[in-house]
Amino acid sequence: MKATQYVARKPDEHGFIDYPEAEHQVWNTLITRQMKVIEGRACQEYFDGIEQLALPHDRIPQLDEINKVLQATTGWSVARVPALIPFQTFFELLASQQFPVATFIRTPEELDYLQEPDIFHEIFGHCPLLTNPWFAEFTHTYGKLGLKATREERVYLARLYWMTIEFGLVETSQGKRIYGGGILSSPKETVYCLSGEPEHQPFDPLEAMRTPYRIDILQPLYFVLPDLKRLFDLAHEDIMALVHQGMQLGLHAPKFPPKQAA
């Protein structure tokens, strides 16, 4: 785990987190901007979730507000965590249908990108689709598998997560649309991923697991689901058999240059 400059805010005895006004303003800037950018780009299931969550624009939402909606739709909830958590904790939470949310928000200086997942990324990027039973089922299964996996197996599972839940696209009758939370919380990547620049491949879980990625660049390749139900179907397939197949076959050559040493 890398160090982080961010510190998650703690709730009072009633579970209320008191954010300073400057942080509410950052939230307002982020959500107002991103709601415009995702028009015509995010998938309908995501917009359905946005409508159900009814996220405020003028302030950072409280976790209890999110939980009421998630529990009523799919039985999920969010769990307050520090800025960065170990893989083990991450899998434990997902396996118990809790999605980790770090209760800090990025600074104005890192408005467009930060490596640590903040509350905007987690709530705006991921929580809308956790109202969808197909997406929720896959995320739950993923957590249960990760909990039992070895360290090497987890690396392959991590690539599957990256290429789906974080940076996945889906085919629709209107064309390709976004469902990955890593894209949906990034104005630049939201536009870029559907442009003619990156490569698009039909989703194949084995190929996704064998595809290297970097977290600090725009992705050179996106996998496209035929529909969101494909995630639900995948949750009921033998994902670990695919992991072991991927481990035998090894990784594809990266589609990006090596990271320059600092």
Q: Provide the mean pLDDT of the chain.
A: 96
Q: Please calculate the CA angle 83-86-90 and round it to the nearest 5 degrees.
A: 85
* Rounded Cα–Cα distance for residues 168 and 219 (Å): 11
> Integer distance in angstroms from the first to the last C-alpha of the chain?
19
CATH number of 21-249: 1.10.800.10
Instruction: Summarize pLDDT for 158-189 with one digit per residue, the tens.
Output: 999 999 999 999 999 999 999 999 999 999 99
Give the residue from 87, 60, 65 showing the smallest Cα distance to 78: 65
Give the residue from 139, 135, 159, 145 showing the smallest Cα distance to 240: 145
pTM of the model: 0.95
Helix then strand then coil, % of the chain, to nearest 5:
50, 10, 40
- Tokens standing for residue 245: 């197949």
pLDDT of residue 260: 73
pLDDT of residue 138: 98
CA 77 to chain CA mean position, Å: 15
Low-confidence ranges of the chain (pLDDT < 50): none
Domain locations in the chain?
Answer: 21-249
pLDDT of residue 1: 54
